[in-house]
Structure formats: C-alpha cells, structure tokens
Structure 1
Amino acid sequence: MSILKINNLSKTYPSGVKALDNVSLELENGMFGLLGPNGAGKSSLMRTLATLQEADSGTATLDDIDILKQPAEIRKVLGYLPQEFGVYPRITAEQLLNHLAVLKGISNTSERKELVKYLLDKVNLYEKRNKSVKGFSGGMKQRVGIAQALIGNPKLVIVDEPTAGLDPGERNRFYNLLADVGKDVIVILSTHIVDDVRELCTNMAIMNFGEIVYKGAPQSAIEALDGQVFQKMVSRDALNEYAENYQIISNKMVGGQPLIHVLSETHPQNGFEQVKPNLEDVFFSKINTANVLV
C-alpha cells in the first residue's frame, strides 16, 4: 500500500495566474478522481506530480520519496499518460512499447520482450501489435498510452483527461482497463467529465481556480445535496430572470429548451419539481457556475 501526501502545494505562473493555491490531498491505492473545469489547475497539479514543472512552495511525497526534491527517484515508480499522448509516425505498437521500455531502463532483451507482450495483452492490443499506432483509433491510442504508463511497475499512475474525444464504446473499454489498473496502485484520474469519476472512483476532489473546493467520496457529496435540488423546463428568454431569482447550478438543452437545476433548502414552488441529486449537481454547486445561456 502506497500513500501520496500533498501539502500546501502552490504555483503561480509568470503571467500572474495562480494555478495551484495551497493544495493538500492524501491518497492511497485505488482510483482517485480529480474533477474541475478547464483551467481549474488540474493539469498544473498533474505536471507538478509528474516532475514536469516545479512548485513555488509546499511538499509532495510518495511513501519515502520527496517528489519535488527527488525527481529522478519518483520517475522510476511513476506512470504518466498526458492529455496529448503523441506517438511516433509509422511505428508499430510493439516497437513503441519496446522503445519506451528501453528509455525506462529495462535493458534485458528477453525481459523487455515478455513485458511488452504482457502489456499488449493487458490492453487487448496484442493482435494489433504490428500495426502502425498512427492509424489507431482514439481509444486504441489511449490503451497504448496506458500500456506505456505501466512500464516498470509504477506505484503512481497519472492520467490526464484520458477519455476526451472517445466514443461511448471506447470510453467503456477504457473504464474497464483503468479499474483493473487501480486495484494495485494509486491512479489519479484528472478530468472535466463527470461520468469518468462517477463510473470509476470511490474518492475524489473538485478543483476550481487552483483550489480544492471538495474532497471525499462522490456518494457522500451527492447525499449532502439530497432534498435541495429542483428542476424546471424554462424558455430561453426567461433564463436571466431565473438566474436573478434562484441559485441555478446547471442548465442543459433538452428538446431545444433549457432544463435548469437550482439549489434551494426549501421548495421553490413556481412549477419546480424536486429531483434526486447526481454528481453533476455536486460538481456545478461546488464550482458555482450556472453557464446561463443568453
């Protein structure tokens, strides 16, 4: 069992943007979801943990490794799938994994061959091992990405926006693969897609403007909103009026009309109906964005 401890991590870019604002988390083996809108600071945190950028202050440790002071040591036990996983043109899946295994220090040829076969089997791509990765679908490329992240038996695996752009079938296959990986190591799933966290994670945090605005179990956050979420179909012209009078946490188009969810401790009447809260309601209530259409 590994433990990742992040304490008061802060990072401000030269532009003045505060990407990380005293972020503190403690994670153990399993799937951990990091939710937040684009620009919330998720990728900044992932890049810091992956030793791709330095923090201004704070600490981060994985067991007895100081991530900020011992980048070479953490890289030995780190698997990382960035948001944009680039591949070499005209290289096969087998050649790519073999090359990356060499870079990770696995010098024994037979050991490397066995590892590559094992990883291709694990991500269900062994039959495609001699195909050019450039021609793979988005989901297949992401599976290759997970395979390379597992080289070297990592203790910590970071995946940044892994399902963006995948069709529903590919996303489900990727969910199953990540759930399998998360049995044995710490997996941080950074995403703005609520379904990713709902499907996979027993623990989560929500980030906004560089801060952690919620941490805990998804189900606990949902239960905390029970009896406080109401919905109503409204006209587009009336959206601003509703925004002035109610705490709208989200709205989405249904059949060409906005369906709004509002947060209220008492029944707002006026045609609203109470609904069971979901993780999307939690997400929008924590980041306090209504996304009102005008």
Structure 2
Amino acid sequence: MKLSIQNLSKTYTNGVKALNNLSLEIETGMFGLLGPNGAGKSSLMRTLATLQEADSGTAYLGEIDILKSPKELRKVLGYLPQEFGVYPKITAKQLLDHLAVLKGVSQRKERKELVSYLLQKVNLYEKRNKAVKSFSGGMKQRVGIAQALIGNPKLIIVDEPTAGLDPGERNRFHNLLADVAENVIVILSTHIVEDVKELCQNMAIMNHGELICKGKPQQVIEELNNKVWQKMIQRNELENYTNNYKVISNKMVGGKPLIHVLNDENPGEGFQQVQPTLEDVFFSKINLVQQAN
C-alpha cells in the first residue's frame, strides 16, 4: 500500500497558503512529518483525513482517490487528532463500543470481541470500566490509538500524539505506535524532533506549506557531518554571532547561550566540531530558510 500525494494546494479564505503544490509518497511503516507551528502539517493531515477539501492536486491511498471518494477512504482510515475529546462519564469500554457502532460494526458479539482485543492491545483492559476522563494523558492517548484501529485501517494519522506526556507515558506510546506501524501506513505529525528520530523509517520537514527536506532520518543527519560547530558565548554577543555566522540554533546552558553554527570549516576561535543531530537538521532547514527570506 502506498500513499501518493501530487501537487496538493490549499489556500484559506484569509489568504494563508497552507499547502503549496506539495508532492510526497509514503510507504507502509512510520512516517514522521516535522515542522514548526504554521508549517502546514495540520492542514495536510486534515486534508488526508477528509476533514477539509484541497483547492487542487491529487491524493491516492492505493487505488482510492482520497479527494473524490472520501467515504471510501474513511472506511480504511484511523485518525487520532491532537485534541482527543471524550464524553465526561463514559468508560473506555463504552467509548470504544460506541465508536465501533459508528464505524459500522453492527453485530454486538463482534463488537464485544473487538473492544476487548483493542483494550488488551493498548494495555487498558484492566481499566475498561473506568471513566476515560479520569485517565492520565498517556492513557487517553492509548484509548485514542485503540479507536483509530477500529476497522483494520490501512492509513493511520496521528497529530502531535506525545505533546504533554511524561517520559514514561511517551515511551509506552512509542512502543505502541511502532507495533501498529508494522503493517499499515502511520503518519506521525509532530514538532518533537526526538519522536521522529526514535520511531520513523522515513521523514519530511514542512515549512510555509512546502516540503523543504525529506529522506531517512540517519541519511539527512549524515548530510551535516563535519559541518556543525558549537560555542558557548555571552548573552550580549548573540546578536553579533547571529549576524555574522550561519547560526542554526541556540539554547541556554548554565545561563549562557550555546550556539550551533553551520560551516564547512572551523568558523573561528573557541568553536568545537560536534556530531550533527536531527535537531540540527531541523533548525538548519527552518532557520536558514527564514534568514534567506
């Protein structure tokens, strides 16, 4: 199964061009979609989930024309939005049963077996009779994945799934996503770079509605080998370094900015060469494009 997107464009009524002639092919497995706020990630996810229409372009999941046959796509789609709302008093078991009805599982016995299977898969069977609103953030996200798996989907879209999760919940959710992605296409839309590095075989970076980078995480990291340098500077020096060097990122360490600079050779005194990371790739693509504009 392959997801093929060609020349997809979307402009909102306020004039914002959310998708700009975007083309992308995604195979079975986990695909990471990175980008800052406003990059167009959610617009792409909503379009693929048939929640909004594109202005032009095409999108196919196998033989299914997503834009012209949204009902056919919904039959094989699992979707976990960034905000997964639940009814106030409903239990995990009741919620999944209700959503299974909405997805066309009409036989009660079949639904019962399906709900039990899904709750066991996401390790929530023992909590099946507890109100979902009492769950932790990670538990709610696991319920979200369970509902996304109803109907044996071929495409699963998860939008910012680990935002707000503590490290333990994040690791459990990672393991669950990796298990799910063995047989289907899973698109992980996020701004958390580490999630993509740890989970995804392939990735892309979006900004201003366009793809500015795509490939395997390790390959795009290796493109920066021997090109990333770091230096600890004083806070009042930051503007000067930003104006005179290709500063791709800075973060505070011990009260001082630690800058990363992109350069083919040592930029000067005090700089040390460091192994590039996916975070360096992300910031180099985003920040240097913005500086050029």
User: What TM-score do the two structures reach when normalised by structure 1?
Assistant: 0.97
Contact kept, 8 Å, 2:247 with 2:261, in 1: the verdict is yes
SS at the partner of 1:288?
A: helix
Aligned AA (1:109): R
Structure 2 residue aligned with 1:162: 161
- In the alignment, the residues of structure 2 paired with residue 44 and residue 291 of structure 1 have an alpha-carbon distance, to the nearest angstrom, of 21
Structure 2 residue aligned with 1:55: 54
1:44 aligns with 2:27: no
Alignment length (residue pairs): 291
Shift of 1:290: 10
Shift of 1:275: 0.1
Shift of 1:154: 0.1
Structure 2 residue aligned with 1:221: 220
- In the alignment, the residues of structure 2 paired with residue 215 and residue 291 of structure 1 have an alpha-carbon distance, to the nearest angstrom, of 18
Contact kept, 8 Å, 1:284 with 1:290, in 2: the verdict is no
Percent identical among aligned pairs is 76
- In the alignment, the residues of structure 1 paired with residue 16 and residue 223 of structure 2 have an alpha-carbon distance, to the nearest angstrom, of 32
Structure 1 residue aligned with 2:117: 118
Structure 1 residue aligned with 2:268: 269
User: What TM-score do the two structures reach when normalised by structure 2?
Assistant: 0.98
- In the alignment, the residues of structure 1 paired with residue 217 and residue 137 of structure 2 have an alpha-carbon distance, to the nearest angstrom, of 28
1:202 aligns with 2:185: no
Structure 2 residue aligned with 1:64: 63
Q: How does 1:122-133 map to 2 (within 5 A)?
A: 122-133=121-132
- In the alignment, the residues of structure 2 paired with residue 120 and residue 70 of structure 1 have an alpha-carbon distance, to the nearest angstrom, of 31
Aligned AA (1:43): S
Q: How does 1:84-123 map to 2 (within 5 A)?
A: 84-123=83-122
Structure 1 residue aligned with 2:79: 80
Structure 2 residue aligned with 1:140: 139
Structure 2 residue aligned with 1:252: 251
Moved over 2 A (4+): 289-292
Structure 2 residue aligned with 1:230: 229
Superposed CA RMSD in Å reads 1.2
- In the alignment, the residues of structure 1 paired with residue 256 and residue 135 of structure 2 have an alpha-carbon distance, to the nearest angstrom, of 38
Residues 58 and 121 of structure 1: is their aligned pair in 2 closer, same or farther, counting only changes over 3 Å? same
Gapped regions of structure 1 (runs ≥ 5): none
Shift of 1:270: 1.8
- In the alignment, the residues of structure 2 paired with residue 128 and residue 222 of structure 1 have an alpha-carbon distance, to the nearest angstrom, of 41
Contact kept, 8 Å, 2:21 with 2:210, in 1: the verdict is yes
1:26 aligns with 2:25: yes
SS at the partner of 2:152?
A: coil
Aligned AA (1:62): L
- 1:206-252 Cα offsets, whole Å, 9 max, x none, are 00000000111011100000000000111111100000110010111
- In the alignment, the residues of structure 1 paired with residue 252 and residue 145 of structure 2 have an alpha-carbon distance, to the nearest angstrom, of 34
- In the alignment, the residues of structure 1 paired with residue 23 and residue 260 of structure 2 have an alpha-carbon distance, to the nearest angstrom, of 30
- In the alignment, the residues of structure 1 paired with residue 106 and residue 275 of structure 2 have an alpha-carbon distance, to the nearest angstrom, of 55
Shift of 1:291: 10
